[in-house]
Structure 1
Amino acid sequence: MNRRLSTLAGQPRRLDGGVMFGATPRPLWAAWMTPDHNNQISLASRALLVQQEQQNILVLAGSDSLLAPLPRACRCQPHSVGLLDSLARHGLREEDVHLVLLTHLQARLPPELQAALRGGELPRLLFPRARYLVGERHWLRAQRPHPLDRALFVAPLISQLESSGRLVLIDRSSSALLGPGWHLQSSDGFTPGQLLPEIDMPAGKVIFAGDLLPGAPWLRLDVTSALDRNPECLVEEKERLLDHLVAIGGRLVLARDPEVAMLRVNRDRQSRYQPFDQHAELTRLDS
């Protein structure tokens, strides 16, 4: 099967560094990602575009990028570059996307979208011709979220997905819609039922890490975030994923790292995971 992979840049965001690095001491994580005066760090919102057999498939970490951007109130406002702009650079419109695989449904919306939702304005879902693929166990979590992560599930967005008529729930490690060469791992550490796709490519498998491993600093097993619902489980899942990646010589696509889109991993003499062959962007990886 002919297959091409590219990374797409969505709208960048800023989040509290203490939340993203959990119990990691600030002097340590601040050396990895420099915070601003509000203790916030810059994070990417990176998607993976998979083009195969006349299909355009998007892999998204969370549902943030599913809502259409709000129109500018006036022309004096700067245009905020987002996912649709990245698609356009590949000659694609949102109507050209056939499938959207969501690793999970949590969303961290920008302030302007939060204000719009509070005011009763509900932006539409993007990709009007696409089917939305979601893990069945995670969908159940989104229907009845725990109080600790309820705020991260945007109820109007979940309702739109449900009423779209294009929602497909996945309860196994593969999907006929995705076709051969896809394996879907399930992860519970960050949020129950997160899907991590592993894609066959001739030069080695490519794994989209979602929010299990958002960026290169999180290659350290002891680095977790305050958003992880089960940190001990997450550390074990992360170790299994990285051991698997080292064993197969695969590559990892990072959704949140502002500087690294894709890397390989090896283990040093102290059995620590070390990144190498790092790429700031994946413009085209062909099979």
Structure 2
Amino acid sequence: MYRKLFSVTGKPRRLDGGALFGTTPRSAWMEWLSPDHDNEVELASRALLVQQDGLNILVMAGTDALLAPLARTCRCQRPAVGLLESLARVGVEEGQVHIVVLTHLHAMLAPTLRQAVSEGDTPRLLFPAARYLVGRQHWTRANHPHPRDRALFVPQIISQLQGSGRLQLIDERANGLLGEGWRFHVSDGYTPGQLLPEIEMPGGPIVFAGDLVPARQWLALDLTTAFDRNPESLIDEKERLLDHLVANGGRLFLPRDPGVALIKVARDKQHRYQPFDHHPVLHRLDS
């Protein structure tokens, strides 16, 4: 099957560096990502666009970028480039997205968007012609969240997905909508039921890393975040996935890394995973 792959980006997100890097000392992680005066670091909001058989398939980690952008309150401000603008640059309009694969349903909203939602002014979901694919196990979690991660699920987004009439629950077996050459890795460490797509390509498979390996630094097995629900399980899952990529010459698509979209992975003599063949942007990768 012939495929074309592109990286597309939404507006960057900011998160507390201490929560993001968990037990890693600030003196170490501030060399990787520079915090601001509020101790926040900037991460990418990167999605993967797959074009195959006349379909535009968008793979996203979480639902941060799934809400339509808020209207500008001041026309004098230059609008930030968001997901729709990034898609338009590769010739895809909002109504031309056929399938949206959501690895999980966490949403860490920007303050202005969070305020709009709390005031009852939740924007609509993007991509009105698309089917939304969500893991069956994770959908149960999103509707009955644990107190430890309840704040990461936005009920208004869950409700809109449920009411769209276009929600389809899937498991790790490739869904018929996606065609051949797709499979899913199940990950419970970050959030139960996260589904990480693997796409067959001639140069080796590409795995969308979701929030199992959000950026290059998380190739270190012991690096976890305060958001991970089961860090020990996450470490085991990460090792299995990275060994799979090393053995099969695969590549890892990073949704959160500020500087790199795609890497290959090797294991050195000390059994540490190392990134190489970095691609800051995935302009177009053909099968």
1:42-191 to 2 correspondences below 5 Å: 42-191=42-191
Post-superposition offset of 1:172: 3.5
Match of 2:229 in 1: 229
Match of 1:38 in 2: 38
Query: Number of residues paired by the alignment?
Result: 287
Match of 2:18 in 1: 18
Post-superposition offset of 1:32: 1.2
SS in 2 for 1:42: strand
Q: Distance in 2 between matches of 1:275 and 1:127?
A: 34
Instruction: Between 111-120 and 130-139, report the one with greater CA deviation.
Output: 111-120
Match of 2:243 in 1: 243
Contact 2:62 2:104 survives alignment (8 Å): yes
Letter in 2 for 1:139: W
Matched, 1:216 2:216: yes
Alpha-carbon displacement from aligned partner over 1:29-82 (angstroms, at most 9, x marks no partner): 111111112111110000000000000000000011110001111211230211
Letter in 2 for 1:14: R
Aligned-pair identity (%) = 64
Instruction: Between 32-41 and 216-225, report the one with greater CA deviation.
Output: 32-41
Q: Distance in 1 between matches of 2:231 and 2:246?
A: 22
Post-superposition offset of 1:240: 0.4
Contact 1:197 1:207 survives alignment (8 Å): yes
Instruction: Between 121-130 and 31-40, report the one with greater CA deviation.
Output: 31-40
Alpha-carbon displacement from aligned partner over 1:232-262 (angstroms, at most 9, x marks no partner): 0000000000000100010000010000110
Alpha-carbon displacement from aligned partner over 1:7-28 (angstroms, at most 9, x marks no partner): 0011101111111100011111
Letter in 1 for 2:150: R
Post-superposition offset of 1:171: 2.5
Match of 2:258 in 1: 258
Q: Distance in 1 between matches of 2:284 and 2:224?
A: 31
Alpha-carbon displacement from aligned partner over 1:155-188 (angstroms, at most 9, x marks no partner): 0110000000000000242100001000111100
Matched, 1:275 2:284: no
Alpha-carbon displacement from aligned partner over 1:76-98 (angstroms, at most 9, x marks no partner): 12302110010000111110000
Contact 1:6 1:285 survives alignment (8 Å): yes
State the Cα RMSD in Å: 0.7
Contiguous gaps of at least 5 residues in structure 1: none
Instruction: Between 155-164 and 76-85, report the one with greater CA deviation.
Output: 76-85
Q: Distance in 2 between matches of 1:58 and 1:112?
A: 25
SS in 1 for 2:236: helix
SS in 2 for 1:106: coil
Q: TM-score, normalised by structure 1?
A: 0.99
Alpha-carbon displacement from aligned partner over 1:179-198 (angstroms, at most 9, x marks no partner): 10001111000000000000
Letter in 2 for 1:34: S
1:198-213 to 2 correspondences below 5 Å: 198-213=198-213
Alpha-carbon displacement from aligned partner over 1:82-140 (angstroms, at most 9, x marks no partner): 10010000111110000000000000111111111111102001000000000000000
SS in 2 for 1:84: helix
Contiguous gaps of at least 5 residues in structure 2: none
Q: Distance in 1 between matches of 2:265 and 2:271?
A: 12
Q: Distance in 2 between matches of 1:36 and 1:225?
A: 19
Q: Distance in 2 between matches of 1:240 and 1:228?
A: 17
